Amino acid sequence: MSEAFEFGGRLPAAFMNPGTSSFAEFLGQVAPDLLPGRRELPQGTGAHLTPDATTIVALTFPGGVVLAGDRRATSGNVIANRDMDKLFRTDEFSAVAIAGAAGIGIELAKLFQVELEHYEKMEGRSLSLEGKANKLATMIRGNLPMALQGFVVVPLLVGYDLAREAGRIFSYDPVGGRYEEHRYHSVGSGSVYAKGALKKLYSEDFSQQDAVFAAVQSLYDAADDDSATGGPDVHRKIYPLVDVITEDGHQRLPADEVERVATQVVEGRAQRPDGPTAPLR
């Protein structure tokens, strides 16, 4: 511990000045080694030895947006965790989910939570959804040194835009590029299969229940073809996590409700293993 933080010592000037409304910038000034992208890795650490979070899906419906994720994390060909939480409420009207290097991704998501809280306290108002998306892009860009070593984090940001009165989805690349996605999107190792399912199932007039059902169906399809994605585990009672954000704010769907939807999907697959089909015409 430095002398400045010893008991009875004087706090650094940065703690006493009004400072910036960005907590990440403040942290970079007073303790840069605490930022996820500035960490020093132990010698010999390889990205293939760290757990990776896998598949995340998001889709909009009239009145909001649904975010869902499987629960599996893998280290190479080994299941590192069966019930990981990859979805994080960032404020009342937004949430972020992570795919990629799990440890850094979780730190980044929690730092983003603090970033939004700090901004609101300093400015007396919350950021717009566009502002949140831009803030997260800057933070991902700060992780570039880690990404170049293989510790890539690819988050997905969703939220309800109060100005537009609609749900929105933002995706990112490893260098901080920000892209708005329309209707639906997926990231992670099983994303190709999840997006393929949503491409056939998605409808512009989905109800919230329809959107949740389609999200769980797409995660099942991802798990069906991607070994790193975990499907519903009825024996251990491990099911996807699902968040819904509307004008009423963020809601994590109760476990029993998700279990009911997942059980319905599993029972349907017993009769039709490849799942529901879209009409040809």
Q: Which amino acid is at 140?
A: I
Q: Is the dihedral of CA 115, 116, 119, 120 positive or negative?
A: negative
Catalytic residue, chosen from 50, 54, 60, 74, is 54
How far apart CA 90 and CA 99 sit, in angstroms, is: 16
DSSP string, 85-129: --EEEEETTEEEEEEEEHHHHHHHHHHHHHHHHHHHHHHSSPPPH
Q: Which amino acid is at 2?
A: S
- Torsion angle defined by CA atoms of residues 69, 180, 113 and 191, in that order, rounded to the nearest 10 degrees: 20
User: And the tokens for 249?
Assistant: 């704010």
Q: Is 54 one of the annotated active-site residues of the chain?
A: yes
Give catalytic residue positions.
54
